[in-house]
Structure 1
């Protein structure tokens, strides 16, 4: 097998189509099809199921894809190391972000790569912590921002920021930063929260148990956008950090008050793949994310503090 075959495998798997991969790679479709067939013959396994709507990767293909990405990343890293530390980065880097954070830093992160390393193919994956953890272990993403401070020890973890949780309600709820809400006052309030599969819900439940109260969960919803819209329309209140809601709060569409007694703090960390060296592109992405968040913190978007790496 050669690097061209591995690149073809990666692109066809990502796009689910030979024709789309041919367009991206600027190679004739029959040539790509032949590369896939040769790779399947060499590995002795079917990597894709072909059907009228495109190419669907098989389980054997997923395993081959994981190794292919690693080989290509190490090849790019070798090229970069030989070229010197100041060389322009190339290749591919996949970054996982929680949905709330993706809305805030995707544009400045893309701008940072475009200005400094425009030849890097940046992939952004917005998902909750559980999915991002699985993707890290499968080698599908290179780094992720995770909310869970108890991330598995096998990951490479770098502290990023800690932030306070707020009670957030509609514009007429009268919640203000000057009037903190005791956690026990949440008893009896209709709350809209993510399901128990997500770290935020488990954290809120932990503090409710400590405060000796029962939460009234009026609705479980795992869509951040829908959650914000429902709170704005007055269907209940939620518990979240203030940063992803700051524009709505500034416009008066939402109001927010800090929670106290206890005051929940959520920590964000940068997490890298456990079983391979961190590439220069992933290092740049992590540093850019930290810089973006530090700048937003200085502007009052975040309520919290940066943590030493």
Structure 2
């Protein structure tokens, strides 16, 4: 039995699917299926029940999952302990971020960290904030940039930056709007919103119930980056944080801050891992990058949070 087989087993169990497990692991599904089949042969029992919507653990699978989680946690702890005793960082750091924010913050920090510490490997995972928060809590990720919303037990949240939700529009139509717009100004516009797993519409309904019922929602998508894609193709106007408009889109898209609607980003780490040197270094690099971008006016809708806002869930 190989450690890789145990990692593959846990990924499939967490995803309840061979397809999603292969996606998260970035491996081919046939190779993943063969590895699991070999593992089941070695333990002499079926670990999964296959069905039309994915897979579920058998009783043997449940027992194996508990032991596998302990083994992987022990291996990761051993690697981390060896890294902190060394004069330089070694081992692997797993970072995560939603697609909408990774290019603005996580990629520059990841590249800088790799250049500074050549003995350390850094893996990058994209996903929704809720997915990444769960992976932090499970110990599968070391650091993630996520929306600073509902917390999860065992996750330390360090507020990073606040920014306005914006009306995302084609650049040639920016002149139709004032410096800012209000939620009532959105009535009548064909809108593209993030709907899954965190619904912008539900957020609007809670804050502006009467106005929200009058909005024209043409599409809900599961990524802020997709909002920008659809606006570029003329599907309507988006509601998203301004960070979805990266440099590659600045010639085609523009944004108008929406008064009273704020998005907050935080650095999430598992509480019992926040003392590791490598993680502290990444924290500092992220905080410094955001402060520099705000000071230079490169993130015009962003504001730094108040000091001392770190909290444990």
Preserved CA contact (<8 Å) 2:95 2:125: yes
Preserved CA contact (<8 Å) 1:109 1:289: yes
Preserved CA contact (<8 Å) 2:96 2:127: yes
Query: 2:275 aligned with 1:272, yes or no?
Result: no
Corresponding residue number in structure 2 for 1:102:
102
Note the C-alpha offset of 1:184: 0.9
Preserved CA contact (<8 Å) 1:120 1:281: no
Corresponding residue number in structure 2 for 1:305:
303
Note the C-alpha offset of 1:63: 4.2
- TM (norm. structure 1) is 0.74
Note the C-alpha offset of 1:171: 2.4
Per-residue CA deviations over 1:199-240 (Å, capped at 9, x if unaligned) read 544333333327565321111112444321210122111111
- TM (norm. structure 2) is 0.74
Preserved CA contact (<8 Å) 1:248 1:254: no
> How many Å separate the matches in 2 of 1:294 and 1:63?
42
1:130-141 to 2 correspondences below 5 Å: 130-141=130-141
Query: 2:104 aligned with 1:67, yes or no?
Result: no
Corresponding residue number in structure 2 for 1:24:
none
- With over 3 angstroms needed to count, the CA separation of the structure-2 counterparts of 1:140 and 1:199, relative to structure 1, is farther
Corresponding residue number in structure 2 for 1:29:
none
1:25-174 to 2 correspondences below 5 Å: 62-83=65-86, 87-152=87-152, 154-174=154-174
- With over 3 angstroms needed to count, the CA separation of the structure-2 counterparts of 1:192 and 1:203, relative to structure 1, is same
> How many Å separate the matches in 2 of 1:286 and 1:191?
35
1:223-262 to 2 correspondences below 5 Å: 223-247=223-247, 250-251=250-251, 253-260=252-259
Note the C-alpha offset of 1:100: 0.6
Per-residue CA deviations over 1:15-35 (Å, capped at 9, x if unaligned) read 658xx99xxxxxxxxxx99xx
Match of 1:291 among 273, 288, 291: 288
Preserved CA contact (<8 Å) 1:94 1:125: yes
- With over 3 angstroms needed to count, the CA separation of the structure-2 counterparts of 1:195 and 1:61, relative to structure 1, is farther
Deviates further, 60-69 or 284-293:
60-69
Would you say how many aligned residue pairs link Structure 1 and Structure 2? 280
SS at match of 2:173: coil
Note the C-alpha offset of 1:48: 9.3
**Structure 2: gaps of 5 or more residues:** 12-24, 50-56
- With over 3 angstroms needed to count, the CA separation of the structure-2 counterparts of 1:59 and 1:176, relative to structure 1, is farther
Note the C-alpha offset of 1:136: 1.9
**Structure 1: gaps of 5 or more residues:** 22-31, 50-56
Note the C-alpha offset of 1:178: 5.3
Query: 2:223 aligned with 1:220, yes or no?
Result: no
Per-residue CA deviations over 1:50-89 (Å, capped at 9, x if unaligned) read xxxxxxx966665444333321232133223434xxx211
